[in-house]
Amino acid sequence: MAVKQVAQQCESASLGVLLIDFSPVVREGLQAILTKDERIAVIGDVPDGREALQHIKRAHKQGQPVKVVLTETRSDKVDGVQATRLIKDEFPEIAVVVLTENMNDSYVIDAIHAGAGGYIFLKDMSPEVLLQSIHDVVKGGTQMKTELLRTAVENLIQNGRRTLAERTTEAAHLTEREVDVLRLLGNGDSNKAIAATLGITLDTTKKHVRNVIDKLQARSRTHAAIIAAQAGIVGNPINGIAPPLCPGSLS
C-alpha cells in the first residue's frame, strides 16, 4: 500500500502502523482488524527491515509518521529480530510489536533485546488484544504474556544462554532492594503488586523500577524482566515470601 493511497485516511488518524511481510491471509486479517479503529492508519506493507526504513522516511515526509511496526520473528523472507534492531537503532521512538505462531519461539528474547515493545502469540490474539497492545506500546508500555516470556527463557536456559544476563546483573551493582524489585519484575508483577509485596509506596516502587532499568541498560521493564529470568533470580523468595507468577501481561 503506497503512502499516497492512505493520505486522506491519515488526515483523521493519529497512529500510523506499518506491516512487515506477513502472509496474504495474515496481512488481510490484520488490516481488517486495524481498520476497525478510526485512530489507526495502515501506512503500508513492506518485505523486510531495510524497506521498512525507507518507507518510514517517506511516510514522515508525507506528514504521517509511523508510530508502530508489526512484524513476525522469522519467515522465508524476513528476520523480524533484525528488522526490529534496524528500526529501533534509527527510529527509537517507533514501537515494534512482534507476532509469533509458535509458543516455543526461541527468538522471543532476541526480539525484546533488539527493542521490541510487545510480543503476541497469534493463536491467543483477538482484535481487542491487538488494538489495545498497539495503543499500549505507543504510550511506552509493553505487551507480553508471562507464560510466553517464561517459556522463551526456559528454552534459552536449556541451551546454555544465561552467562550474558548473569554478567549484566552482576555488573549493574544493584542494591538489595533493587534486586528484590528486579526479581518481581521477572515474575511479571505490576508496580502496584511490587509495592504491596515489598511494603513500600507506589512512588518509591516506580523510582526503584526506573533505577533498575537504567542500571541494567535495559530497553524496557520487559527487557529487565528477561535479564532477571536469564540470570536465574526469578521465583526466589523475598524476605521469606515467594511471590506467585502472574498470568497477566507485563504491561
pLDDT higher for 7 or 210? 210
For residues 96 and 188, membership in a common domain is answered with: no
> pLDDT band at residue 203, thresholds of 50, 70 and 90?
very high
pLDDT exceeds cutoff 70 at 139? yes
Q: Which residues contact 186 (CB under 8 A, 6 or more apart)?
A: 224, 225, 226, 228, 229, 233, 234, 235
Of the candidate ranges 48-62, 133-147, 202-216, 234-248, the one whose mean pLDDT is the lowest: 234-248
Strands of the chain, DSSP E: 15-20, 40-46, 66-72, 95-100, 118-121
For residues 128 and 12, membership in a common domain is answered with: yes
Domain count, the chain: 2
Q: How far, in Å, CA of 184 to CA of 177, rounded?
A: 11
Q: Can you give the pLDDT at residue 6?
A: 45
Average pLDDT, integer, range 82-96: 88
pLDDT exceeds cutoff 60 at 1? no
Do the Cβ atoms of 43 and 66 come closer than 8 Å? Answer: yes
CATH number at residue 173: 1.10.10.10
Of the candidate ranges 53-62, 86-95, 107-116, the one whose mean pLDDT is the lowest: 107-116
Instruction: For residue 19, list its beta bridge partners.
Output: 45, 70
CATH number at residue 14: 3.40.50.2300
For residues 35 and 142, membership in a common domain is answered with: yes
Q: Can you give the pLDDT at residue 238?
A: 56
For residues 175 and 81, membership in a common domain is answered with: no
Backbone angles phi, psi at 219, to 5 degrees: -80, -20
For residues 90 and 170, membership in a common domain is answered with: no
Structural domain includes residue 35: yes
Q: Is 148 exposed, middle or buried (0-12, 13-18, 19+ CB in 10 A)?
A: buried
Q: How far, in Å, CA of 75 to CA of 70, rounded?
A: 14
- Residues 146-185: tens digit of each pLDDT: 566 666 656 655 554 444 455 455 556 788 888 889 888 8
Domain limits for position 218: 162-230
Structural domain includes residue 16: yes
For residues 178 and 133, membership in a common domain is answered with: no
Q: Can you give the pLDDT at residue 198?
A: 93
